Amino acid sequence: MDGTRLLNSTLLTMGLVVTSIPSNTVGATPLNTLASTVKYDGSIFTTRFLSQNSYSLDKLKFNKQKLKTYKNLKKKWDGYDGDEFDEDVIHIVECILSDLTIQPQVFPTSRGTIQIEKYFTDENFYEIEIGKDEIFAYIVTNEEEIEREVEIEELISLLSNLNV
Amino acid sequence: MLDEIISDDELLFRGIIESNWDFENDRPSSAIFKDSKGVSVDRSAGRNEEDCVAFLREKRDFFKVCSIEVKRVRENSAFVLYKYLLDNIYHSEIHDSIEKIQIKGSKAKKLRDNLFCIYP
């Protein structure tokens, strides 16, 4: 087993994963110095805890694949009178998803908007409806409830600050 | 054509496709209530549940079928409108209110919370 694989497998056992390790720097770091950051040769590498909600490239890929299928949905796709999806809306959602560490679930709506939603608990969740002309947020946390139109930048900030 | 007045104890049925099912929480997403033209449903109008489901599934083999009591829709300040179609005398719509069609945010979530999955 080479140095990179040994380090990563040990970190995974500890519940940590190194997000960025240059190949020429692996192999000399004492594992007992690893905590929430990994220091080596003066560089700091961030780490993330593995949990059900942690960053998942697979979930992001899955969501992006799902979005691609929306491009092919024809009128009445929902068994009723569902509208088709504008490519701009799909692109906006792709951009938002790429900025989120914890991936939500993605759902199409009959009016051609796309909803992203994540329930951490019944009192801590968000449902965001993304359309071409409006992003409407419904965010509930233990501290507050937000229900209004938001801009993309504000949305990313709001979702990043959710207490999970 | 049926009686225009929909009573509080009637049920409204909606077919759900797989894309709108929240598999993490085993329920539909509130996204099903987001339609600018009104949320299409079938009213029960004296039929039993089995007949309502069978009628809905004649048109499409829905992944799930859910129902909501008219009383619950009204308690959440939404509006139910009987709007029959030539090929569906039971067709009705749920609107945000008597003045506004489109449902958003918390109201859609509250309606979703009052749904019961009755098929399969």
Q: B36 in a domain, yes or no? A: yes
Query: pLDDT tens digits for A8-22?
Result: 444 444 434 333 333
Whether residue A151 sits in one domain with residue A116? yes
Query: pLDDT tens digits for B27-79?
Result: 999 999 999 999 999 999 999 999 999 999 998 999 999 999 999 999 999 99
Number of domains in chain A: 2
What is the dihedral sign for C-alpha B14, B16, B22, B23?
Answer: positive
Whether residue A98 sits in one domain with residue A66? yes
**Chain B closest CA to A163's CA: distance in Å?**
19
Task: With cut-offs at 50, 70 and 90, classify the pLDDT of residue A55.
Answer: low
Whether residue A136 sits in one domain with residue A76? yes
Domain that holds residue B26: 11-119
* Percent of chain B at pLDDT exceeding 90: 96
Q: B3 in a domain, yes or no? A: no
Q: B6 in a domain, yes or no? A: no
Domain that holds residue A41: 3-49
> Residue-wise over B77-116: b if at least 16 C-beta within 10 A, else e?
ebbbebeeeeeeebbbbbbbeeeebbbbbebbbbbbeebe
Query: pLDDT tens digits for A80-119?
Result: 999 999 999 999 999 999 999 899 999 999 999 999 999 9
Residues in A touching B106 (Cβ below 8 Å): 138, 145, 147
Number of domains in chain B: 1
pTM: 0.79
Residues in B touching A145 (Cβ below 8 Å): 106
Among A32, A49, A66, the domain-final residue is A49
Burial of B13 (0-12, 13-18, 19+ CB in 10 A): buried
Task: Tell me which H or E stretch contains A83.
Answer: none
Query: Considering only CA atoms, which of A17, A115, A19 is closest in space to residue A63?
Result: A115
Q: B1 in a domain, yes or no? A: no
Say what the ipTM of the complex is: 0.94
Whether residue A95 sits in one domain with residue A22? no
Q: What pLDDT score does A9 carry?
A: 45
Whether residue A147 sits in one domain with residue A83? yes
Residues in B touching A139 (Cβ below 8 Å): none
Whether residue A17 sits in one domain with residue A62? no
**Chain A closest CA to B41's CA: distance in Å?**
9
Q: B2 in a domain, yes or no? A: no
Whether residue A42 sits in one domain with residue A112? no
Whether residue A80 sits in one domain with residue A18? no
For residues A71, A76, A79, A81, the Cα torsion angle rounded to the nearest 10 degrees is 130
Whether residue A34 sits in one domain with residue A16? yes
Whether residue A125 sits in one domain with residue A62? yes
Window 58-117 of A, Cβ < 8 Å to B: 66, 77-83, 105, 107-111, 113, 115, 117
Whether residue A33 sits in one domain with residue A80? no
